[in-house]
Amino acid sequence: MSDRFTTLAAFREALAAAPGPDPDATEGAQARNRQLTKPPGALGRLEDLAIWYAGWRGTDRPRIAAPQVIVFAGNHGVTAQGVSAFPAEVTVQMVANFEAGGAAINQLSTLAGAKMDVYALSLDTPTADFTQAPAMDEAGFADALRTGWDAVDPGADLVIVGEMGIGNTTSASALAHALFGGAAEDWVGRGTGVDAAGLANKTRVVREGVARHGAAGDGLDLLCCLGGRELAAMAGAIARARVLRIPVILDGFICSAAAAALEAACNGALDHAVAGHVSAEAGHETLLRNLDKAPLLALGMRLGEGSGAAVAIHLLRAAVACHSGMSTFEEAGVAGG
């Protein structure tokens, strides 16, 4: 498999040809789980998570030693429609905060022992207002996908992608609405904290964007028309992790919408991913239900940045530590195994 795609067609081909989990590792992890010093199923979903992770890492006794957190930032032309409570300059300011180590995701990445990388995507040139034109042209969309693809460290054993971008809940809402239908109101939340009038305006913008682009094609086509560069970059990183068999923890609504575009374009594209949490943003729970992804945590978070997924690293690490570190009945000399 090539380390780098050159065209959107090649990206689609790489995603479609990506390998699945290692069946021998999965079978070995299942067999080991049956012999660990505990009643069958006593660790609940932790057991399923450990076996899932083992299959993707190709070993029946895995460990998590090199997680990577990648934050992508982009600016959206649709903010000209007044969809956010904050100006677009905040994106630039928050990128500086990430780089200085002052954001929540910096603290959570350090706590989890994760390498953290930040990518700002042409912040001085926002995407087009998607109520008037496609957010990105094909070349710009491919560049954003490629930024995410190239950002994944092949040596990582777990990947989390996060985002920053004023206006990106509007983009994610439009994308989810286009992918899954329903009413625009079902997908639109308050984002950065818009008031009732702002929420109504945001809903109008989403409705207009989907009316213009909703028949554009598959999930990748819709992501190009309605997404932002940071959403495209997250999709590129998630796809690259799939090719490399690196498990992914999905973050909140915006990350999940970007991931949903991949799944809509290629069935099974998210088999290597679990949902880190369900956020407080309207529509996220419904989106995860459509993806058949049960969240690991429900903490009322809605920050973005990869923060909820970074918290979930510890839960997945607990699952893997129990699976790989516990003794079997035979090793422990315990009867009943």
H/E stretch holding 161 reads: strand 158-164
CB 201 within 8 A of CB 193: no
- Which amino acid makes up residue 225? C
Report pLDDT digits (tens) over 143-188.
Answer: 999 999 999 999 999 999 999 999 999 999 999 999 999 999 999 9
Any catalytic annotation for residue 13? no
**CA–CA distance from 181 to each of 178, 189, 214 (Å)?**
6, 16, 9
Structure confidence at residue 337 (pLDDT): 63
Mean pLDDT of 287-303: 97
Architecture of domain 8-62+323-332: Orthogonal Bundle (1.10)
Q: Catalytic one among 47, 208, 281, 305?
A: 305
Structure confidence at residue 192 (pLDDT): 85
- The CATH fold assigned to 67-318 is Rossmann fold (3.40.50)
Domain borders along the chain are 8-62+323-332, 67-318
Q: pTM (2 decimals)?
A: 0.97
**Cα 112 from chain centroid?**
17
Report pLDDT digits (tens) over 6-62.
Answer: 899 999 999 999 999 999 999 999 999 999 999 999 999 999 999 999 999 999 999
Alpha-carbon distance 95 to 100, whole Å? 9
